[in-house]
Structure 1
Amino acid sequence: MHKLLVCLLVFLLSYHAVAQQPVFRVVPLGVRGGLDESNLSAYLVAPTGSAAYACLDAGTIRAGVAKAVAQGTLSGTVDQVIRRQIKAYLLSHAHLDHVAGLLLNAPDDTSKTLYGLPGCLATLQQHYFNWKSWPNFGDAGTAPVLGKYHYQPLLPGTPETAVAGTALLVQTFPLSHGTGYESAAFLLRHGNSYLLYLGDTGPDAVEHSTRLASLWQAVAPLMRAGTLRGIFAEVSYPNAQPDNLLFGHLTPRWLQYELLALARLAGPDAMRNLPVVVTHSKPSADNLTQIRQQLEDANSLRLRFVFPEQGRAFGL
Structure 2
Amino acid sequence: MRRRANLRALLPALLLLTGAAPPSPAFDLVALGVNGGIEEPTSAYHITARGARSGVMCDAGTLAAGIDQAQRRGGYPRAASRQEVMASISAYLITHAHLDHVAGLVLASPNDTKKDIMALAPVNQALADHYFNWSAWPNMGDRGAAPRLARYHYRDLEPGGPPTLIAGTAISVTAYRLSHAGSPSTAFLLQSGSDALLCLGDTGPDAVEGSTHLNDLWRAVAPLVQQGRLRGILIEASYPDPVPDNQLYGHLTPSWLGKELQALRGMVGNDARMKALPILVTHIKPSEAPPSNRETVSRQLHDLGFFNFIIMEQGRPYAL
> Could you say whether these structures have the same fold, taking a TM-score greater than 0.5 normalized by the shorter chain as the test?
yes
Partner Cα separation in structure 1 for residue 160 and residue 286 of structure 2:
35
1:72: how far off? Answer: 3.3
Partner Cα separation in structure 1 for residue 20 and residue 257 of structure 2:
30
- Give unmatched runs, 5+ long, in structure 2: 1-15
Q: Which of 309, 313, 316 is residue 317 of structure 2 equivalent to? A: 313
Deviations 1:195-251 (A, max 9, x none): 011100000000011110111111111111111111011000011121111100000
Alignment of 1:140-159 (within 5 A): 140-159=143-162
The residue type paired with residue 230 of structure 1 is: G
Alignment of 1:96-175 (within 5 A): 96-175=99-178
Partner Cα separation in structure 1 for residue 75 and residue 225 of structure 2:
30
Corresponding residue for residue 204 of structure 1 = 206
**Count of aligned positions:** 298
Partner Cα separation in structure 2 for residue 303 and residue 297 of structure 1:
10
Partner Cα separation in structure 1 for residue 216 and residue 84 of structure 2:
40
The residue type paired with residue 287 of structure 1 is: N
Give the SS at the match of 1:264.
helix
Partner Cα separation in structure 1 for residue 228 and residue 53 of structure 2:
26
Corresponding residue for residue 252 of structure 2 = 250
Asked if the contact 2:74/2:317 (under 8 Å) is kept, the reply is no
1:268: how far off? Answer: 4.4
Give the SS at the match of 1:16.
coil
Partner Cα separation in structure 1 for residue 225 and residue 51 of structure 2:
25
Corresponding residue for residue 27 of structure 2 = 24
Alignment of 1:44-83 (within 5 A): 44-74=46-76, 75-82=79-86
Q: Which of 30, 34, 37 is residue 34 of structure 1 equivalent to? A: 37
Q: Which of 278, 281, 290 is residue 278 of structure 1 equivalent to? A: 281
1:158: how far off? Answer: 1.3
Query: What TM-score does the superposition give when structure 1 sets the normalisation length?
Result: 0.91
1:60: how far off? Answer: 0.2
Partner Cα separation in structure 2 for residue 268 and residue 225 of structure 1:
10
1:165: how far off? Answer: 1.5
The residue type paired with residue 293 of structure 2 is: N
Q: Which moved more, 1:61-70 or 1:169-178?
A: 61-70
CA RMSD, 1 decimal: 1.5
- Pair 1:293-2:295 in alignment: no
The residue type paired with residue 119 of structure 1 is: P
Asked if the contact 2:74/2:316 (under 8 Å) is kept, the reply is no
Give the SS at the match of 2:20.
helix
Partner Cα separation in structure 2 for residue 64 and residue 57 of structure 1:
12
Partner Cα separation in structure 2 for residue 95 and residue 281 of structure 1:
15
Asked if the contact 2:128/2:144 (under 8 Å) is kept, the reply is yes
The structure with more radius of gyration: 1
Deviations 1:84-107 (A, max 9, x none): 111110000000000000000001
Asked if the contact 2:94/2:102 (under 8 Å) is kept, the reply is yes
Corresponding residue for residue 195 of structure 2 = 193
1:271: how far off? Answer: 0.6
Deviations 1:43-100 (A, max 9, x none): 0001122221200000000111001122332231112211x11111000000000000
1:108: how far off? Answer: 0.6
Alignment of 1:206-225 (within 5 A): 206-225=208-227
1:303: how far off? Answer: 1.9
Partner Cα separation in structure 2 for residue 264 and residue 120 of structure 1:
32
**Identical-pair percentage:** 50
The residue type paired with residue 213 of structure 1 is: N
- Give unmatched runs, 5+ long, in structure 1: 1-11
1:154: how far off? Answer: 0.7
The residue type paired with residue 85 of structure 2 is: V
